[in-house]
Chain A
Amino acid sequence: GGMLAAAVLLLLAAGPGPGPGPVRAGRDALREELLLSPLPDGDVAATFQFRTRWDADLQRGAVSHYRLFPKALGRLVAALGVRELHLALTQGFWRTRLWGQPPLQAPPGAELWVWFQPTVTDVDKAWEELSNILSGIFCASLNFIDSTNTVTPTASFKPLGLANGTDHHLLRYAVLPREVVCTENLTPWKKLLPCGSKAGLAVLLKAERLFHSSYHSQAVHIRPICRDASCLAVSWELRQTLTVVFDTFSSGQGKKDWSLFKMFSRTLTDACPLASQSKVYVDISPKNKEKELLEVTPPPASVHEAVVQGDKRTYAVYDLLSPSLFNTSRSLNVQLKWKRPQDSLDLPTPVLHAQRYVSGYGLQTGEISTLIYNTHPYRAFPVILLETVPWYLRLYVHTLTIITKGKENKPSYIHYQPAQDRRRPHLLEMLIQLPANSVTKITIQFERALLKWTEYTPDPNHGFYVSSSVLSALVPSVIAMKDVDVEQSPLFTSLFPSSDGSSYFVRLYTEPLLVNLPTPDFSMPYNVICLTCTVVAVCYGSFYNLLTRTFHVEEPSRGGLAKRLANIIRKFRGVPPL
């Protein structure tokens, strides 16, 4: 903002008005929490969740007085008829095989998916406007979202909040895998928090530490939820999450011990005064049946047990709002020590994980291969695979093969939308049954298209990104899960509600692909111009000389040296030369 000149004004008070109206209670609430979980390979994941719940209907023009809910997002939802909005900006890749199932994964780069209200007539226009506005709010290049990278999935993305119908024409999904996420995206994200980064858990969000990590993912989820159990009225929920993975092993001189101060170079001193809940959870689940491997200081006031993603977890809970916490020391610095060095743990593999790569040689054709692993010992389950491939990789659908355990696996549902050059990408959605303890390999061949010279990205030899494919599955749980009250349970369990006690929802993203396209030598036109110009100029020069030169008959000069000497002598004598 520019410098604003201000002028003092002595105001004349107007006439008296009626008295103030009745006081209304605050209808919005903020809950903040931090989940610290040591990952199987020794890294530490920190997941922040800030949930603002507003008991008001954010429909068009109905509400315009904001308290905890950020005005910028509220106005956006109201003005553009957004029913649900999910935006994630991620730097790095969540390694599911090593780190296990994340509470919330996001693909590298920027991901945006939005459900619009049925009242929105022109969804594409609203989508374009929305991405442009979000790009302004979050300083991200979301304005590059256009029809060439937007798809409308039919099965993979269901509304996470209240929804009357699931007409997928109201859904738009786009991923920008090239997007680089950095501090300029974090600052506006922090600004949306009611307490900013001034108080509460958000004081830990120090950019220089957060981006000195192996994985950084920040997200914004807006959805309508039931106000109460009877579900007669709608509340709006804004969930701001941030996940960071710190490599403690390499930064901690070979020790896996960590503390809040070591990770964030800050400690917690208070809760956000506006929050109705402010908690720190530390995952102290015993691994391999060996108990008491970890030691957490200070000793937690309470321990919470929950079944998260088919796994029994134990969390140490620190309630920042309880007055006893800050009685003994002024700040909370959660520390974790391993009681004895862990060596060569056999890493537990998650039930569902996947990997993807591109193969083939040359610059004409190639093949995309996706491997999906089901490591469940005895249960088969279906998975929905969503593949979005840009138009410049022309997929050959007849080469699509799905092989499990050496046999062909026929998908029970397939939705394919072919690409149109410069208009829309390929969309391939399949429902595949994964047998127990199996690897499924999906391959599809493609041909590389030639681009116009203006269509190349600034660094074309770096390659072109193909966004991550999305796997959505209801994974059967090994342990029976209790039907818990979503409102009361920690927030990291409640975004994807489980349908029943026997399975849980997982959404995974594979690696993005980097594909080289035939790239022209961009300096060639200039080289050609230079060369032809030089040739033309040389030709011109010789012609010019030929046409303009006058020829003289040179008189043979005899006795050159003697004559010159004689002339010099004559010059000294003042006699005209020979």
Chain B
Amino acid sequence: QFQLAVPVAVVFAPGSVPGDLPRPLPFRDVQETEIPVNLKTTVTTRYETIYRSTTAQEEAALGAATAREADAALHPLQDTSLGSLTMYVVPEMSSLLPQGVSVYVGKHRSALVRAGGGLAALRARLQQLTQVMAFTVSSITAALSDRVPDGQLGPDARRHLKSSLGYEITFSLLNPDPKSHAVDWDIEDAVNRYVQPVLDKLSLVANFSVDSQILYYAVLGVTPRFDKESSSFLLSAHSLPHVINPVEARLGSSAASLYPVLNFLLYVPERSHSPLYIQDKDGAPVSTNAFHSPRWGGIMVYNVEAPASPQTSLPLHVEVDMVRVMEVFLAQLRLLFGLSREELPPEFLLESPGNEGLADWELDRLLWAHTVENIATVSTTLTSLAQLLDKIGNIVIKDDVASEVYRAVASAQSAVAELAVGHLHSAFQASKEAVTSSERAFFDPSLLHLLYFPDDQKFAIYIPLFLPMAVPILLSLAKIVQETRQRKKEPTKLD
């Protein structure tokens, strides 16, 4: 069904062209692979690769001292459309890449690859690189997780948030013991400083709203175990699922919008349960003292140092170290969006995204996955709408609902078409429109009306008619049966 086209440009710096090229530069090459998702759905990926040699400007940029500088210098020379990738092949002996590193992925949509070996070796490396920078089989199947049969998915596949037009991020500080701890956090500044840059980058993907609250007397649902050795309290991994439920009742749903909520909770344990540590499955304490719940958010336990003298007057004033907290929450946020950096071979070097918190190619990864997921969602929504209409024959479809359905289908088709030619940005926009239209059609109040009562009730009303009418018919039928039986019996008797 799906065809994902990734435009890739492979640029050879002088002295890096492998000897066994099939044709002289420049030339085009198309590679197709198929990813089976289930019996009906297959995803075809198409790498449209252009092989060419560097221009004079690029050559000058590649002459920079370090990979980072080269990356910055190359950025204005590239195709900046979303989803496209540029890979520069540098000579094997180039000093641009550090020793032992053969692939360098920059902040934007480009990478530097050290030449070496023949064309086949280079191709394999480039293939691996496109998977890192665009999508992998697992990221696409995770996006289509609703259609993949259970058991075929890895544990991470259901961790990512569903694609949505917007997300609400709520930071909550839980203070179960305001009598002993007066906890303050400068969340406003921390959000502006650490979270907002990431969200600005992600604003292409969805709308985000951030808010925070402080909840008092909110306790965890589990009583932690006291550990005598370390004189601390421990929460073991298997009890963590029970932690969230009682807290969630206090969090308050977002009444004003329908977007999914991401909760990040900072829990300051009661004085009687301090310090509190989270244990992983092996019994070792978790270094960050935090855990996350897939598609829901994360919880971090923030221990307050016990006062030096027991005579210290209560409540103890606590100022939360927001750097420590935000590091954890941002890592959890990336994880929930499926942006965690996967395990890579050691010769890969990824540039840290710096202040923006997110590299351009990571954004592309997210867009690929979300576009595919949106299209899948639209098709699921429209299919269930069609099933509903099949089930209830006399339902009335208003013109505006019908036009929303048409619009959804048209947008979904254009999204698929744009994906097939590699226009990621327009494909994503179209898929977003398709989702909006299909949801609007599906949740239209005119389809929810309870007036469509089922046919069996109509039948029940006419039972007083059908039952007395059936009596003479059944009686005469019985009579006929009796008579035929008798007629059959009579000849045998005569014999």
Contacts and interface: CB of A to CB of B under 8 A. Distances in A.
Interface string A8-24: 11111111111111111
A526 interface: yes
The residue in B186, B256, B296, B473 that gathers the most chain A C-beta atoms within 10 A of its C-beta is B256
A10 B179 CA distance: 32
Interface stretch (B5-13, B28-36, B188-196): B188-196
A198 interface: yes
B468 A541 contact: yes
Interface string B279-303: 0110000111011111010110000
Given A7-B159, A64-B210, A65-B187, A75 B240 contact: no
A573 B186 CA distance: 116
Interface in B245-304: 245, 248-250, 252-257, 278, 280-281, 286-288, 290-294, 296, 298-299
Contact of B216 (A7, A274, A530, A534): A274
B255 A133 contact: yes
A16 B323 contact: yes
Interface string B176-217: 001100001011111101100000000000000111111011
Interface of A is mostly: loop
A172 to B, nearest CB: 18
B249 A1 contact: yes
Nearest to B248: A1
Contact of A10 (B214, B255, B286, B327): B286
Interface string A523-542: 00010011001101110110
A271 B472 CA distance: 81
Interface in A446-465: none
A191 B246 CA distance: 13
A332 B170 CA distance: 39
Interface residues of A, number: 61
Given A20-B186, A136-B255, 17 more contacts: A1-B244, A7-B159, A7-B240, A8-B240, A11-B288, A11-B327, A11-B332, A14-B330, A20-B322, A22-B186, A65-B188, A75-B256, A196-B216, A273-B179, A538-B468, A540-B472, A548-B476
Nearest first, the 4 closest Cβ-Cβ pairs linking A and B are: A537-B468, A21-B189, A533-B465, A64-B211
Contact of B327 (A13, A536, A541): A13
Nearest to B291: A8
B321 interface: yes
Interface of A: 1, 3-24, 26, 64-68, 70-72, 75-76, 79-80, 133, 136-137, 191, 194-196, 198-199, 270, 273-274, 526, 529-530, 533-534, 536-538, 540-541, 544-545, 548
B162 to A, nearest CB: 15
9 contacts: A8-B237, A10-B287, A13-B331, A20-B321, A65-B213, A68-B214, A80-B256, A194-B216, A529-B461
A529 B473 CA distance: 21
B462 interface: yes
The residue in B159, B211, B315, B321 that gathers the most chain A C-beta atoms within 10 A of its C-beta is B211
A545 B293 contact: no
Contacts of B352: 15
Nearest to A274: B178
A7 B286 contact: no
A537 B465 contact: yes
B169 to A, nearest CB: 10
Interface string B299-332: 1000000000000000100010111001110111
Contacts of B184: 23, 26
